[in-house]
Amino acid sequence: MLLLDSADVAAARRAADLGFVRGATTNPTLMAASGRRAEAVVPDLADILPGPIFYQVTGETLAAREAEARRFASLRPGRIAIKVPTTTDNLALVARLTRDEITCALTAIFSPAQVLLAVEAGAAFVIPYVNRTTRLLGDGPGVVHQMRLVIDALGAPTRILAASVKSPDEAVAALLAGAHGLTLPLPVIEALGEHPGSLAAIEEFRAAARSAG
């Protein structure tokens, strides 16, 4: 699964036009950059892209986060996944939401131990920050691999959606480490499809076609 990591509607339209980007992830930073209210952005993204749209709760209290999660999930029933930063209390929140069939993702997750509890809480997704984990712990893909081992050991349906991916090489490393999917900024998605060797070969084909004509 390939998702767009953006709350920008123009980027979502470009991603939708590509035909292989399924949905989008947002976070408070991306939402603020959009300059629009989240209640307006999330339905717009759902109307543009065919797959899930991830919204991250920001309430100051557990009760506020729960009310916020339920409110946003109701904007497009079955289409909105709720992102919740990983803490013990928030894991309990995810357990309550998933019992009511609200799709949840644990984000800002940095350890296999947290993934173990995410599985037990019923999270559909865990979202590790690959590049940030490398900067903090030394080996982001290595941590992703350990997370995948935990999920496989438990036989769980929880899927790893790798975020904080800054380059095509880092995207491939996350997948080879065991991530089930990627959420990427539009420039990284577009860069995945390009290579200097491809451009050189295309120019050779054009030159041959011109000479033949």
Give the 3-state DSSP-derived string for 154-168, with helices as H, strands as E and coil as C. HCCCCEEEEECCCCH
Among candidate residues 21, 34, 48, 83, the one labeled active-site is 83
> Which residue has tokens 């076609």?
209
Question: How high is the mean pLDDT in each 10-residue block of the chain (213 residues)?
Answer: 97 98 98 96 98 97 98 97 98 98 98 98 98 96 98 98 98 98 98 93 86 76
Among 107, 114, 86, 119, residue whose Cα is nearest residue 30: 107
Is 83 annotated as catalytic?
Answer: yes
Q: Which of 134, 122, 125 is nearest to 107 (CA)?
A: 125
Q: Write down the pLDDT at residue 184.
A: 98
Q: Give the pLDDT score at 213.
A: 64
- Give dist(CA 40, CA 53) in Å, integer: 13
pLDDT at 15: 98
The fold adopted by the segment(s) 2-212 is: TIM Barrel (3.20.20)
